[in-house]
Chain A
Amino acid sequence: MIRKNRANRIYLICTFIFAAAAIVYFVLQAMNKNIDLYLTPTQAKSGQYEIDGSFKLGGMVAIDSIKTGSELDVTFIVTDFKNSMTVNYSGVLPSLFKENSGVVASGFYDQDAKIFVADEILAKHDENYMPINIEVEN
């Protein structure tokens, strides 16, 4: 049997945990849009988010969409398989940047040219780990 004062302490602690969890939940709800590191093309086009200034755009690099221009210029399409956005970038790309793999671009959306002009590209690695020899056999 748990003595009465101990039971009371358990209730008290549980109440505190519940209250603190509720506070954290509401704070996170309020900040929800700011916690996302990037917007997907669908979110960016939905009009619910401010995209006048600079923001980060994330998604997959569409297959056969990478076109290299002069010098370090590169254009590619970022897609979330519902919507897509053309991205223009000039600079060094991370080594994991490739087609059909995740990417996060920071920059701004050029409303007239309908192009996202990026000044930084980060590659997003997925959760798959494969030995190098298996990849070669395939």
Chain B
Amino acid sequence: MYKYIAKYFLLDRVFLFCKATALWSLGIGATSFLLVAYLCLIILPADATQSEVYRILFVHVPSAIFSELVYIFMAINGFIYLVWRTKISAIFLNSAINIGLVFTALVLVTGALWGKPTWGTYWVWDARITSTFILLIQYIGILALKSSFNSKETADQIVSIVAIIGAINIPIIKFSVEWWNTLHQSASITFSGSSIDAEMLYALPLMVLSFAFLAFFIFCRNVQIEILSRKSSAKKVRELLNG
């Protein structure tokens, strides 16, 4: 089984796959983002209590989802790398860091901009906001750690360990609004249904999807850079770029 999976994750093969799909992903992502943004900003009705401000939700919620999903992805890849020593997992881990960082920064900024007109403040140190802020610091830390070692192998191992241990923060972020009294509201969309009206809700998965395509574009480019930077000689780099 191991050999069957491994043959699809040969570095050169992944490189060529990323090269082929990246621009398609950008095209689909950018187009759908513009269309869905038009839908969210112009077509959808205003909210009954928050009026127009609620539209920040369509950036805030997808960013929040990805800030956590990207971290889980990093932790899983870190685990696989530490156990099986597969180079590609370390490359995937390293390629995801800055994407997660951007999404986490975006969720904090949009949340602050939404907080001022609705709550009356940009920032409070409640459990949800503080734990998300910690996630931002984790991303910054891992990004700094990544380039702090002379040997790539040492860096990969250390980054993997830090990513795995830091994953403890993810359930804390998720359940912070239930465990403690927070200013942040509890989840609108749960397994038992949604408290966002259906008339507004359908735009949200579309936005999540277009964010996914945009993120995948950046991820592909990061993977390409990572693979090239790990090549031992200029000749091999040239072969890969032309092949």
Contact = CB atoms under 8 A, between A and B. Distances in A.
A59 to B, nearest CB: 10
B119 A96 contact: yes
Contacts of A28: 172
Contacts of A6: 83-84
A132 B48 contact: yes
Contacts of B46: 131-132
B124 A16 contact: no
Given A96-B49, A132-B47, A127 B168 contact: no
B78 to A, nearest CB: 9
B68 to A, nearest CB: 17
B121 interface: yes
B186 A134 contact: no
B50 to A, nearest CB: 7
B82 interface: yes
Interface string B176-198: 00001111011110000001110
A30 to B, nearest CB: 14
A129 interface: yes
A63 interface: no
A37 B127 contact: yes
A126 B165 contact: no
A122 B197 contact: no
B82 A127 contact: no
A129 B196 contact: yes
B47 A131 contact: yes
A35 B180 contact: yes
A126 to B, nearest CB: 6
B141 interface: no
Interface string A105-121: 00000000000000011
A21 B168 contact: yes
Closest 9 CB pairs of A and B: A94-B120, A135-B48, A131-B45, A37-B126, A129-B196, A127-B188, A36-B181, A130-B48, A127-B185
